[in-house]
Structure 1
Amino acid sequence: MPQSNLSSRILIADDHPLTREGLALAARAASQGVSVDTAGSVNEALSMVSERSSYRLILLDLVLPDAHGFSGLMQLQHAAKATPVAMISAKEEAPLVEAARALGAAGFLYKTRPLDVLVGEIREILAGNCVFAHVPGSGSAAGLSRRIASLSSAQLKVLVALADGRLNKQIAGDLALSEATVKSHLSAIFRKLGVVNRAQALLAVQPLLGGQVAGGVSA
């Protein structure tokens, strides 16, 4: 039975026109007859998801002007429900891959890979598989990767929300938690990261956040 028009669509969210064009080409090569929509920001992607209701796959750039680290991933996962969301990045860093996996992304793909490799990876995700490129960790990056892996999914979501500049009350509302639960998660996060406060936590996970955090802390 042929797929419906909606279920044969892929959404690409990237703020660079040439990158969007290349990813669209890879997506069409990965699945015959697929239609591709493009967005230049997380908010634009959210609007498209709201209008179309269903996509087979969302390819999301890690670094967008209206997102910090993985906040865009979490927003699109919430809005798109069961639609797989795969991250696309030029950053080949083990902590980023580990965090994407822990947050439930369908994959972490590299913009630097040849077109035929991207086509194969997108095809794998469309077939229901997860694709995470292996990046050997070393030194502090490997240590951060292990610490990220030790966080529960709920703790990682709280950390990402914290990095987006949200206060405990806002985090609690956004994640449907009590403020007491948020504080408990933060205490566990600080302990696992080996830090004692919010500022130290944000500095410790800058690689996770793509070098950007709300409030002016940057690499």
Structure 2
Amino acid sequence: MDTRRILIADDHPLAREGLALAVRHAIPGAVISGVGTIAQAEALVARGRRFDLALLDLMLPDTHGFSGLLQLQFALPQVPVVIVTAREEPALARTARELGAAGFLRKSAPLDNLAEALRGIVAGKPVFSAGRICGDAGLVRERMAKLSPARRRVLFALADGRANKQIAQDLDVSEATVKAHLTAIFRLLGVHNRMQAMLALQPLLGETAQ
């Protein structure tokens, strides 16, 4: 059997180590890479690092709501991404499932339970809390998937509340380019301005998308 390569994205070293223990219990011989931010994860992918599974903390320093899940999914389109969080709200599990996560696990679960869930996910069996799916988040994600990588970067920067000038500086593009990207983003989302875009993104990015 080929060695499986696992990415763990969590900004707490002790949590990363705990998840690594669960991974080693579930997938003997797995090669594990740990990062503390989505930016670090994307940097590994940009350097050609390949992964078979990604475990993602829902609340990283450079994410809002489900933005980290979306960014990892776009960076690793063929890789199952599992949310592992300390948060307990059932609605989060429903939204994660709707957005195409491979699972939604809670850090409070015993090590053996986490390992069992990971074995199931590796075997192709998603693990989620039960609940009805509402539909809005999945629709927005489908539209986001149609954006180019450059426009998705602008969209995530917009969700952070950054002004056009700041987005241009951070992404090393002109303000005119940012405005052109925003026009295309608004058109695809079916909105006319920033406020409407933030409202459309709320199911994915939470209260920060305002």
Q: Is residue 54–residue 83 contact of structure 1 (8 Å, CA) maintained in 2?
A: no
Identity %: 44
Name 2:18's counterpart in structure 1: 22
Q: Note if 1:76 corresponds to 2:72.
A: yes
The one-letter code matched in structure 2 to 1:132 is F
CA distances 1:130-173 after superposition (whole Å, capped 9, x unpaired): 11123x68xxxxxxx63636745325779x84634477x85984
The change in CA–CA distance for 1:170 and 1:116 in structure 2 (over 3 A counts) is: farther
Query: Please, which runs of 5 or more residues in structure 1 have no aligned partner?
Result: 138-144, 188-196
Name 2:136's counterpart in structure 1: 148
**TM-score scaled by structure 1?**
0.70
Name 1:11's counterpart in structure 2: 7
Q: Is residue 155–residue 186 contact of structure 1 (8 Å, CA) maintained in 2?
A: no
Name 2:99's counterpart in structure 1: 103
**TM-score scaled by structure 2?**
0.72
Q: Is residue 159–residue 198 contact of structure 2 (8 Å, CA) maintained in 1?
A: no
Query: Please, which runs of 5 or more residues in structure 2 have no aligned partner?
Result: 148-154, 165-176
Name 2:57's counterpart in structure 1: 61
Write the mapping of 1:1-219 to structure 2, written as runs, cut at 5 A: 2-3=1-2, 5=3, 8-134=4-130, 146=134, 148=136, 151=139, 153-155=141-143, 161=156, 163-165=159-161, 173=181, 179=183, 182-183=186-187, 185-187=189-191, 197-198=195-196, 201=199, 205=202, 209=205, 213=208
CA distances 1:191-214 after superposition (whole Å, capped 9, x unpaired): xxxxxx539838x948x5465x16
The one-letter code matched in structure 2 to 1:82 is Q
* CA positional deviation for 1:43: 0.9
Q: Is residue 20–residue 38 contact of structure 1 (8 Å, CA) maintained in 2?
A: yes
Distance in 2, Cα, partners of 1:105 & 1:147: 15
